[in-house]
Structure 1
Amino acid sequence: MTDLLAVYDAHLRTAAEVHGVPDVQRRGPLWIGRVGGGRVFVTYRELDDPAAHVSEIVSLLAEDETIRHAEWKTRTHDEAPGLTEALTAAGFTPEPPESVMLGEASTLIDASAPDGVTVRRLTGSDDIRAALEMQDAVFGGAPMVDTMLPTLLAPQADGAVEVWGAEVNGRIVSAGRIDPIPGTPFAGIWGGATLPEFRRRGIYRALTAARVRSAMARGVQWIHADCTDYSRPILERAGLVKITETVPWVWQREE
């Protein structure tokens, strides 16, 4: 039986998490990605001295006032004594935990769109903007449309990231991305969101199936996702397995 947690740690952390990010820095075991809009993302595989590494990020935030928002991802299965205490002392606050899901791509493809729903890949700027605005309305927090739109519209040499949406009467009611990781048989499904009034109709599952079928045509064999409690049962029914939890710790510069 495949050790899914070992697969995750070996292939889906650090470099895999920041591929496609235009500006990535290394500070010891830390991988720091600048994703635009004054936002940085911090991840790691192992930490020998968690408090010291948090201090490095605190110094970076103090030195660079263009950084407005930072996110540091922790995993519940990691051994990093003192990390959460150091993050709290540094002014980071935890968001709700998300389930890390992993499984074979072929388990997710058997779902079709309900009547009256069109699922398609979104390529035009207007469609992608509409999808991001819908996701912002669902998730709240810092607007993704401000930070992600330029990245999703920028030319990609390998065409890695695909944005997909589900429409009802021309309105995007569900959307998400799929991100094949170059040089690996893995892809991540991200940003999945559905407007509340269109949930529990099989739309999100159909959207996921369409994304995965597209990725499999490009050689993807494994799918992973960080998901909310709403999405997790859908992905579990499709065959993905929860292997750990991740907690995004966020910091916001005071205005």
Structure 2
Amino acid sequence: MDHDDMLALFDNRIRRNTPPDPGCRVERDGAVVRQVGSEHSWNGVVWSGLDEAGADAAIAAQVRHFAGLGLEFEWKAYSHDRPADLGARLLAAGFTPEPDEALMLARIADLPAEAALPEGVRLLPVTDPAGVDLLMDAHTQAFGAENPRLRERLLDHLRHGVGTVSMVVAMAGDRPVSGARMELIPGTGFAGLWGGGTAPDWRGRGIYRALIAHRARLAAELGYEYLQVDASDQSRPILQRLGFAWVSTTTPYVRQP
């Protein structure tokens, strides 16, 4: 499968026909597909099939909808979306862009099956709130800021997402130094890899690659065929060396209620 075919499959299965996250619902409003949940959920537009004539009205309709619910939401735009000036239209409608990320896709069968952890580091599955606290500790070290909203989302996954989310933290002795999660999307063949941030003093030792391999093996055992990552500039080169393809660029546009 070439890159264009894989991107088309991703758009169809993960964006246009996405299943909802636990505790959320997916709604279709004309040429827009959105997810709506609680204030701790990811709320936003996952796909749009707009043209120049109707784009501004569709954007305004989503702003009104989420404002009526009192929810912040994200319009997850991709560089191959139409119209070509979608990003500029979102800015004009009061959205704030967050950093671009590379949409990386791979067939699990094409990826390395093993990657060694540094000596003294072990992987600990996250199965309870104490494990979430360890994962968030690693996240804070890696990204330099606490994220209480993400913590609530991960706890929601524990409560409602049985069988669809796998979380793991890399422990150096008693210290969490990296953490990641995998969101399984039933019926699509795709699993999404999220997180993977590592404490600065532990970077460059192979932990990120080991977390990719660990989650890839688990996804394959569960019958999944593809992995998806929204990659930063830091992780993109590593993923490309492992066999992921950079097929598009995604920009989150956030709108306050």
Partners of 1:245 and 1:251 in 2: CA distance: 20
Listed as ranges, the matches of 1:124-203 within 5 Å are: 124-139=128-143, 140=145, 143-156=148-161, 159-203=163-207
Deviation at 1:115, TM superposition (A): 0.7
Partners of 1:23 and 1:91 in 2: CA distance: 25
- 1:115: which partner in 2? 119
Deviation at 1:175, TM superposition (A): 0.9
* Cα 1:10/1:101, change in 2 over 3 Å: same
| Residue type at the aligned position of 2:223 | G
- 2:16: which partner in 1? 14
* 1:77 aligned to which of 64, 80, 92: 80
Which of 16-25 and 71-80 deviates more? Answer: 16-25
SS at match of 1:12: helix
* Cα 1:96/1:141, change in 2 over 3 Å: farther
Partners of 2:137 and 2:26 in 1: CA distance: 27
Deviation at 1:17, TM superposition (A): 6.6
* TM-score, scaled relative to structure 2: 0.88
Deviation at 1:201, TM superposition (A): 0.7
Which residues of structure 1 form unaligned runs of 5+? none
Identity of aligned residues (%): 35
Deviation at 1:85, TM superposition (A): 2.6
- 2:39: which partner in 1? 37
- 2:243: which partner in 1? 239
Listed one character per residue, the Cα deviations across residues 164-211 of structure 1 (whole Å, up to 9, x for unaligned) are 111111221111111222113221111221112211110111011111
Listed one character per residue, the Cα deviations across residues 91-136 of structure 1 (whole Å, up to 9, x for unaligned) are 1111111000011113042212111110132112111132134324
Contact 1:37/1:146 (<8 A) preserved: no
Aligned residues: 250
Contact 1:108/1:238 (<8 A) preserved: yes
SS at match of 2:45: strand
Contact 2:139/2:146 (<8 A) preserved: no
Partners of 2:61 and 2:104 in 1: CA distance: 30
Answering whether residue 66 of structure 2 is matched by residue 64 of structure 1, we say no
Contact 1:35/1:41 (<8 A) preserved: no
Q: Which runs of 4+ in 1 moved over 4 A?
A: none
Partners of 1:24 and 1:129 in 2: CA distance: 29
- 1:54: which partner in 2? 59
SS at match of 2:178: strand
Partners of 2:242 and 2:87 in 1: CA distance: 33
Contact 2:15/2:47 (<8 A) preserved: yes
Deviation at 1:19, TM superposition (A): 4.2
- 2:29: which partner in 1? 27
Partners of 1:113 and 1:196 in 2: CA distance: 16
Deviation at 1:51, TM superposition (A): 0.9
Q: Over aligned residues, Cα RMSD in angstroms?
A: 2.2
Which of 142-151 and 52-61 deviates more? Answer: 142-151
Partners of 1:170 and 1:42 in 2: CA distance: 40
SS at match of 2:229: strand
Which of 106-115 and 205-214 deviates more? Answer: 106-115
Answering whether residue 224 of structure 2 is matched by residue 224 of structure 1, we say no
SS at match of 2:18: helix
SS at match of 2:241: helix
| Residue type at the aligned position of 1:235 | L
Deviation at 1:54, TM superposition (A): 0.7
